[in-house]
Amino acid sequence: MARKDTAAVPVKGSRIMVIGGASLVGSATAEALLARGAAEVTIFDNLSFGGEGNIAHLRGDPRVKVVQGDIVKLHELLRATGGLDGIVHLAAYMTLNFDRDPWGGIDVNIRGVQNVLEACRANRVRKLIFSSSNAVYGYGPGVKGGLVEETPFHAAGAPPAAILYGASKIIGEQLCRDAHRKHGQDYIVLRYSTVYGERQHYRAANALYIVETHDAIRRGERPKVIGDGSETKHFVYVGDLARANCMALESTSTDIAVNTSGPRPVTTLELVTMVAELSGRPDLKPEMVEPDPGKVRLTSGGAFEIVHRAAKEAIGWEPEVEMREGLRRLLAWRDAAAPKPAG
């Protein structure tokens, strides 16, 4: 492909913007970009979900700029994106927020992505990294086995909000492809699996297994597992994703979408047991409970794995952090942020 040689944006010395940067993935990505020698890292966020606290540790670096802005407002993006070399676009509504506010999700995940692409074109931003999700494979009984980039979308039998979220990410990916075909915009789509790590929030349905288990254990209660605990989840450590975002910018590849998942999937029982052990309370055995019909739940049709082989081929990325080590880091961060009361 003629443009391939020009698609690399070396992080060192470049000006990069992280849109949706005041959150879980964004704060880790900004940190990784600074460590790789970026000349300037702009965090663009409307602070609707994220917060100042997530970027407080970066504020002392003179290369960090923070812009409070909204991707739904094109003029705000146009003003903020002049002179950039690359953008990592993360701002989005996930399933739980889509459930509460479908219009907000449609605006941010669809119009917002197109606005980011328009701003890239107007200001000649060379490369865009777009955070998609394994939600593009859908949920429900059709989802099982090895999920590769060609796996189709499964909508039957899944909650509407999860399907709206997955469909909005499919549209976002296609808007990127459209901009590449029409205007030569270089981009890489990374399809993240469920993220966990430092600065974890309560907005991702699957990661609730980790944070709610930890909260229960800190109250001295038994953690809950829905069903028999055999359900599969596939997580990825946030630091591994921050590295993937940097590698995607630096890669000569363009016009591709690849899965970025952790080393291997876990069952919910394994996950909850690991959190109890790492919290020093292996005696608090998980309690099997029926699903709460009032809550959005993400299920699959059986064991599955999100295969990340193509990411290795396209951008040289592989996950490095095993789940037990990543969980240890997350729990240490949570304990430091909100120590358990004494006694």
Ligand X SMILES: NC(=O)c1ccc[n+]([C@@H]2O[C@H](COP(=O)([O-])OP(=O)(O)OC[C@H]3O[C@@H](n4cnc5c(N)ncnc54)[C@H](O)[C@@H]3O)[C@@H](O)[C@H]2O)c1
Instruction: Give the closest residue to 90 by CA, choosing from 158, 28, 3, 179.
Output: 28
- For residue 267, state whether it binds ligand X (rule: CB under 6 A): no
Nearer to ligand X, 14 or 194 (CB): 194
Angle between helix axes 112-122 and 160-183 (nearest 10 degrees) is: 20
Among 95, 115, 151, 194, binds ligand X (CB under 6 A): 194
Nearer to ligand X, 7 or 244 (CB): 244
- For residue 91, state whether it binds ligand X (rule: CB under 6 A): yes
d(CA 100, CA 198): 25
Query: Tokens at residue 226, please?
Result: 């829905």
Nearer to ligand X, 210 or 225 (CB): 210
**Span 131-150, contacts to ligand X by CB under 6 A:** 131, 133
Task: Looking at the chain, list the stretches that DSSP marks H as alpha helix, in order from N- to C-terminal side.
Answer: 24-35, 74-80, 95-100, 102-106, 112-122, 160-183, 208-218, 238-250, 268-278, 309-315, 323-337
CB of 287 to ligand X, least distance (A): 25
| Exposure string for 214-226, b = 16+ CB within 10 A, e = fewer | bebbbeeebbbbb
- For residue 49, state whether it binds ligand X (rule: CB under 6 A): yes
CB-closest chain residue to ligand X: 50
Q: Is residue 15 within 8 Å of 44, Cβ to Cβ? A: no
Among 63, 111, 144, 203, binds ligand X (CB under 6 A): 203
**Span 271-310, contacts to ligand X by CB under 6 A:** none
> CB count, 10 Å around CB of 190?
26
- For residue 326, state whether it binds ligand X (rule: CB under 6 A): no
- For residue 108, state whether it binds ligand X (rule: CB under 6 A): yes
- For residue 207, state whether it binds ligand X (rule: CB under 6 A): yes
Among 70, 149, 240, 250, binds ligand X (CB under 6 A): 70
Among 67, 72, 74, 171, binds ligand X (CB under 6 A): 72
- For residue 20, state whether it binds ligand X (rule: CB under 6 A): yes
- For residue 41, state whether it binds ligand X (rule: CB under 6 A): no
Among 137, 139, 192, 209, binds ligand X (CB under 6 A): 192
Long-range contacts of 63-70 (CB under 8 A, 24+ apart): 63/34, 63/38, 63/39, 64/30, 64/34, 64/40, 65/40, 65/41, 66/22, 66/42, 67/42, 67/43, 69/44, 69/45, 70/46
d(CA 306, CA 166): 15
Query: Tokens at residue 234, please?
Result: 């596939």
The stretch near ligand X (CB under 6 A) out of 18-26, 138-146, 217-225, 286-294 is 18-26
- For residue 88, state whether it binds ligand X (rule: CB under 6 A): no
**Span 219-248, contacts to ligand X by CB under 6 A:** none
Nearer to ligand X, 197 or 286 (CB): 197
CB of 253 to ligand X, least distance (A): 20
CB of 198 to ligand X, least distance (A): 12
| Exposure string for 124-140, b = 16+ CB within 10 A, e = fewer | ebbbbbbbbbbbbbbbb
Nearest-5° Cα angle at 120, 85 to 248: 55
Given the rule CB under 6 A, which residues bind ligand X?
Answer: 20, 22-26, 45-50, 70-72, 90-92, 94, 108, 112, 131, 133, 192, 194-195, 201, 203-204, 207
